[in-house]
Amino acid sequence: MKSKNLFTHVFTLILIFLFISVASVSCQITRYGEKDISETGEAGDMNEIDNQLQEQAGEKSEDETEEITTVNLWISDLIPEYISAEVRNELSKVFDEIIIADEKENSDVWVEIDISSKESEIRWVLVPVVSFFRSFDDISYENIKEFWAGNKEVLNYISVDDSEPELIVTEEVFKVLEKIFGQKENENIKIVSTEELSLNIEKNNSFSIIPFDNIEKKYKVLNLDEMSVFDKDLDINNYPLALNISLGSNNPDFESKIAESFSGVTITNRDMEKLASVIMTGVTAIVRQVARRIESDGVLSPGEKIAEVLRDADITHISNELPFVEGCTGTKPQGLIFCSSPEYIELLRYVGTDVIELTGNHMNDYGHEWMNYTLDMYDEECWHYFGGGRNLEGSYEPATFEIGSNKIAFLGANTFGPASNWATEDTPGSARINVWGEVEKEEDMRKFEAIIEELKKEGYIVIFTFQYEETYSYTPTEVQIADFRRIIDAGADIVSGSQSHYPMGVEFRGDGFINYGLGNLFFGQQLAILGNNPGIIAKHIFYKGKHINTILITTMLNDFSQPRLTTSEERIELLKSIFAGSIR
């Protein structure tokens, strides 16, 4: 009985073993092919599978044996580090390993400044600068070259105290200029540290040459051979201090890899896609003399000599202080009750208006109906507005823009009143800072400080405008200084006075810039002590989300009704007056 059972168990185990072996073979065949050849009987399928596996193995072998490309790279020590880093980053996309060579002769690929080249996608731009508080605007490349070669008199106009002019540069820039001009022959060329540069530029007899990305708002950037480096239409190939950087190789294979890597790539410290400009203007009130010129010479006539200047910015600001009123007789206003004919909006279109300031103290001269009517007109034009609105809440709303990498916000307030001009919970008017009550003023100032804080958190550059009490001096009052500074200290980047009927001084405070008053744009008020009614158009330059420079464009008002650019002599005298009224 036991022997029979034992035989049964052994026989069962043998059958199980055979079954597992067959199943295993069947599974292997199915796994490698899409069909089980034990079912189809197609032996050719197995051959195809073998061929595929051999091809895959061959491909893998080729990948595994692919040659690693190593390049010996030499970069001239004249190349700025951030440009060098970008170049290495691009090359790393086509070379497996980059070894930095000590000498150009030991390299496969080299990077250097090429003063003979006219075009390159890698470019380092230098700019000539002086102190902001200088009254000249231009310099020539040939004069810089002559000065370097030893001619001390060729740039005498730079000095205002009869001392010899000096060129102040960092060692980095000096070495580059030495490559361009050769060995210096002028003892008035001095090398200073980056930290010392700003202090030296403030001297009355010095100028400097700096990289574009080192421009500061305290500098005046000079036009070079009548070319502005801020001009977006500038052909940079014609700018004498735009230095081309070339990549070279004596290996044809490497040259093709370099061409592949840098196809469509631009490396520069002057990226125009990251630059924005804003034009800020003073008082516009299309009434009295301006209205009379329109009626006699056409609606565009007041702007004919200045429109091109005003349109030359990404954002053009107009502080229009009056409502548009149907049937308005602006040529003969009733005392100081002002309005403009709706047809006059064509003048604002003509000069390229983008944003309207509403802080003016005449916005409700004809009642709430006509201010709302005026806002409707602006809405139809798709113009942003700020510093006022259809109610109190709306008056606090900033006007915001995004130009490239620059987020810009406009905010403004009326401090002078009258109270009937201020917006309320349900009526239109200007935004309020009530300076006539100490408690009210503090509440209103804190309101705007909180708004500025939020805008800064959101990454905005903040431009704040005041409709302040009018004074008749180039120098601001102590109270005005305190209020304007408080807004700068709250985080605003620029504070601009829209109230003044002629230009006032400026101030640099911390990282902020203050224009205490711009003067008139389209308005005919004039004081005898000021002559032909001067004004300022401030052109603010922004780069990579930062305010880097301001250009003061000086104007005069023909016949109290038509602004024009100043002559050279007028500009020098006007800038002297503005700088004398400035806080330094």
Tokens, residue 119: 């075009």
Alpha helix locations (H) across 300-397?
Answer: 307-311, 345-350, 368-381, 392-395
Cα-only R_g, the chain: 36
- Name the DSSP class of 403: E
Amino acid (one-letter) located at 45: D
Q: Tell me what pLDDT residue 319 has.
A: 98
- Our CA dihedral for 544, 91, 245, 110, rounded to 10 degrees, sits at 150
560 CB-near residues (< 8 Å, 6+ apart): 288, 289, 290, 524, 525, 526, 533
- Where residue 116 falls among pLDDT bands split at 50, 70, 90? confident
- Distance CA(308)–CA(299), nearest Å, equals 16
- Distance CA(361)–CA(322), nearest Å, equals 8
Task: Judge whether residue 13 has pLDDT over 60.
Answer: no
- Where residue 526 falls among pLDDT bands split at 50, 70, 90? low
CB neighbours of residue 215 within 10 Å: 20
Q: How confident is the model over 86-106, as pLDDT tens digits?
A: 999 999 998 999 999 999 999
Task: Judge whether residue 38 has pLDDT over 90.
Answer: no
The phi and psi torsions of 512 (rounded to 5 degrees) equal -105, 165
Tokens, residue 279: 């034009």
Q: How confident is the model over 161-197, as pLDDT tens digits?
A: 888 999 999 999 999 999 999 999 999 999 999 989 9
All domains in the chain, ordered by first residue: 67-269 (3.40.190.10), 273-580 (3.60.21.10)
Q: Tell me what pLDDT residue 329 has.
A: 87
- Mean pLDDT over the full length of the chain: 88
DSSP string, 424-461: -SSS-EE-B--TTSHHHHHHHHHHHHHHHHHHHHTT-E
Q: How confident is the model over 193-211, as pLDDT tens digits?
A: 998 998 899 888 999 999 9
Q: Tell me what pLDDT residue 41 has.
A: 41
Q: Is the peptide bond before 398 cis (omega within 30 degrees of 0)?
A: no
- Distance CA(118)–CA(509), nearest Å, equals 41
Whether 206 and 130 have beta carbons less than 8 Å apart is answered as yes
Tokens, residue 107: 């390299």
Tokens 């000086």 locate to 554
CB neighbours of residue 547 within 10 Å: 23
Task: Judge whether residue 531 has pLDDT over 70.
Answer: no
Q: Tell me what pLDDT residue 487 has.
A: 98
Region for residue 34 given its phi and psi (left: phi exceeds 0; alpha: psi -120 to 50; beta: otherwise)? alpha
Whether 285 and 338 have beta carbons less than 8 Å apart is answered as yes
Whether 279 and 533 have beta carbons less than 8 Å apart is answered as no
Average pLDDT for residues 444-465, to the nearest whole number? 98
3-state SS assignment for residue 39: helix
- Where residue 527 falls among pLDDT bands split at 50, 70, 90? low
- Where residue 515 falls among pLDDT bands split at 50, 70, 90? very high
Stretch among 60-64, 125-129, 251-255, 354-358 having the lowest mean pLDDT: 60-64
- Distance CA(263)–CA(266), nearest Å, equals 9
- Distance CA(142)–CA(59), nearest Å, equals 62
Q: Tell me what pLDDT residue 529 has.
A: 56
3-state SS assignment for residue 160: coil
Tokens, residue 82: 């951030």
Amino acid (one-letter) located at 215: I
Q: Tell me what pLDDT residue 17 has.
A: 45
Query: What are all long-range contacts of 435-442, with beta carbons under 8 Å and residues at least 24 apart?
Result: 435/469, 435/483
Task: Judge whether residue 12 has pLDDT over 80.
Answer: no
- Distance CA(163)–CA(185), nearest Å, equals 18
100 CB-near residues (< 8 Å, 6+ apart): 72, 73, 74, 75
Average pLDDT for residues 441-447, to the nearest whole number? 97
CB neighbours of residue 244 within 10 Å: 19
Tokens, residue 384: 């942003």
Task: Judge whether residue 432 has pLDDT over 80.
Answer: yes
**What is the largest distance, in Å, between two alpha-carbon atoms of the chain?**
139
Task: Judge whether residue 61 has pLDDT over 60.
Answer: no
Whether 283 and 501 have beta carbons less than 8 Å apart is answered as yes
Q: How confident is the model over 133-149, as pLDDT tens digits?
A: 999 999 999 999 999 99
Percent of the chain with pLDDT over 70: 87
